[in-house]
Amino acid sequence: MSDRNARARTALLPAVLALGVVLPACYAPMVFTESDADLVLDTRAIRGPSPAEPGAFDVGYLTYGSGTDRNRGGFADSVAIVTDSVDGSDLLTWGGQRESREEYWGFSIEGLPLNGRVWYPDGAAADAAGPFPLVLVVHGNHSPTDYSDPGYDYLGELLASRGYILVSLDMNFINGISRENDGRGWMMLEHLRVWHEFAEDADNPFAGRVDLSNIAIMGHSRGGEAVTHAAAFNRLDRYPDDANVTFDYGYDIRSVVAIAPVDGQYTPSGRKVPMRDVNYLVFHGSHDGDVTSFHGLRPYGRLEFSPGFEGFKAAVYMYRANHGQWNSVWNSFDRGPRSARSLDLRYLVPPADQRRMAEIYVSAFLGATLKGEKEWLPLFRDHRVVGDWLPPTMYVTRMEAAGNVSLADFEEDIDVTTGAAEGIELRGDSLATWREATLELRSRNQAATSASQENQAVWLAWNNRIRGDTTVHGPPGVFEIALPDGFASEHGVDARGSLDLHLAATERLPGARRDPRPEDERAEEDEAEPASPGADEGAEEEDEGPPPIDLTVELEDAQGRTARVPLSRYGPVRRPLEIRILRRQDLEAGTDHSELVLQSYHLPMSDFMEIAPDFDPTSVVAVRLVFDRVAAGEVVVDDIAFSRLPVEFWEARLR
């Protein structure tokens, strides 16, 4: 194990121990000190059975489709419902493969079948009649003849037992053609069209059983990009690439799930497809051997919420998960049948564990967004609330709710002193680095447009040692967001809300600052005690790698009262996890061995009031990040905001 790998695992280990899980032998044990007490948290804060446990319903299964499929019996004469074909020639083309594909499949691009595998709640109970929320899932690119749609059977079985209708869509016949992702999105909407017909046909087995006001769409890989196109097309009257093609959808798509998605393979008018006013969940594995960077962070960033919309978006990064194990057909073969020749498969999480994670997050997300099961909401703020249920690995999670009051998102201009709203000022003091820049993906050997997270953040570095490794210390570095008088009350900030931010540490330890004082003053200070808590410990650990990062978050109200909490109270500050995917490390030259994925921290206003009972959250005038808990380090920070989430988010939160 490399020194860097050991340091990364040590820095992140508190998060794993807080999960209450057993670690593989490659992880060394860690002894908590008194300062770690706040990290040992209630790992069963969400009570009751896991959302991945089967529900109360029996599970029924059937297929619908053309009824004439020459290759797949499930879509031939055994289908329960026969569907008409659709003409895909306005969006899709088989190009030079037309003759061979028509010969194999038995149909043309003008006559594409609408085939689906359906898992649904069944049984004699009165509530088995529904209506039930409808969930569609579409696969990504794979060998067209190694059929991908059966690979989400585990989600179908689970969700049907918990009161959903899940449909896995067959689009194997468009795998591998050019510009297929807009076509996948369009075909999802055509499937929704036939489901509206099913629900209205008295002779159909699903008549009256489908809750068409609560629809979710899911996609994996290229399908994970396609769901963003489906959500966008659903609101459009015309196809962006040809206005002669009209759309007439407007379905009640409430929620979108993207599993290890690609992004930007379809760019109408040269732009990435936006999303608005849907709930969004995206997750990705660190050891993805196909989509090697967390591309789903880009549509996550593009998703916008209108005033009055109630919902949220969440992102989850799972360490040692790959691309294919989210699908039981694809499994570990991210680069085809001979994947083991190029990919190092030894350290992947077991396939069952990876799919268990998907079951937990998808089930909880759909419960929260389609059924109003608010008890699952804390999971998306902090994965440790279900630590006993999650597979034993490490996670980085991000979550934002509609209605957040943004203070600094670093997107608005190139002025590092301006915040996200008029009158907000950003200030720095005693910082070694203060700069805004674009977050990058790890795959820097790809085209420059593919290497960006398309998201700006701020880099803040500090070194409270004034002269190298001596015991002379200066004031701690501070980053301040100064708010106009009355800003907090005007935007509804109160004791029920929280201060939210995204943050991650880097591996960098900046050099000490030059001491600007006269020589005689510096000499006197040489004899004084260190002024920075933890500075000596940081200096001692420097030879063994960077020490764990922590900092203080301070709020000040209009009366000058301050309240301070350590950020580590809300989870350890993570450095990037080491990632090595290939068997031959020399083939990974030019690629970063980590992905900089920021972690969400949500600091309740009530916690600041516990520290300082007289503190008034309705009159906050300053938010400060004070780097006084570790002598030196660097963090990347983004999306500092006040959240006005309902109290339900905190009923089960960690304490």
User: Who has greater pLDDT, 406 or 388?
Assistant: 406
Least confident window among 143-157, 207-221, 569-583: 569-583
DSSP state of 53: S
First to last CA, the chain: 35
Among candidate residues 565, 625, 568, the one with its CA nearest the CA of residue 430: 625
Q: Which domains does the chain have, with CATH numbers?
A: 58-401 (3.40.50.1820), 404-650 (2.60.120.430)
| CA 299 vs CA 109, 260, 303, 396, 645: distances in Å | 29, 12, 6, 17, 23
**Amino acid 469: pLDDT:** 55
Mean pLDDT of 20-33: 28
**Amino acid 577: pLDDT:** 85
Mean pLDDT of 284-292: 91
**Amino acid 346: pLDDT:** 85
CA gap 19, 381 in Å, rounded: 14
pLDDT tens digit sequence for 200-236: 999 999 999 999 999 999 999 999 999 999 999 999 9
pLDDT tens digit sequence for 304-336: 999 989 999 999 999 999 999 999 999 888 887
pLDDT tens digit sequence for 235-253: 999 999 999 999 999 999 9
pLDDT tens digit sequence for 462-519: 998 866 555 567 789 999 999 999 999 999 999 989 999 999 999 888 876 655 545 5
pLDDT tens digit sequence for 340-367: 777 888 889 999 999 999 999 999 999 9
Query: What string of H, E and C letters represents the secondary structure of 59-98?
Result: EEEEEEECCCCCCCHHHCCCCCEECCCECCCCCCCCHHHH
**Amino acid 587: pLDDT:** 65
**Amino acid 194: pLDDT:** 98
* Angle at alpha carbon of residue 261, lines to 255 and 262, rounded to 5°: 130
pLDDT band at 537 (very low <50, low <70, confident <90, very high): very low
Checking 7-10 for CB contacts under 8 A at 24+ apart, the result is 7/507, 7/544, 7/545, 7/546, 7/575, 8/575, 8/576, 8/577, 8/578, 8/594, 10/548
pLDDT tens digit sequence for 604-632: 999 999 999 999 999 999 999 999 999 99
pLDDT tens digit sequence for 179-190: 789 999 999 999
**Amino acid 545: pLDDT:** 60
pLDDT tens digit sequence for 431-454: 999 999 999 888 744 443 458 888
pLDDT averaged over every residue in the chain: 84
The residue assigned the tokens 């967004």 is 369
**Amino acid 91: pLDDT:** 93
Give me 104's structure tokens: 């194999």
CA gap 143, 153 in Å, rounded: 19
Give me 311's structure tokens: 């919902």
pTM metric for this prediction: 0.88
Give me 353's structure tokens: 């564990």
**Amino acid 539: pLDDT:** 40
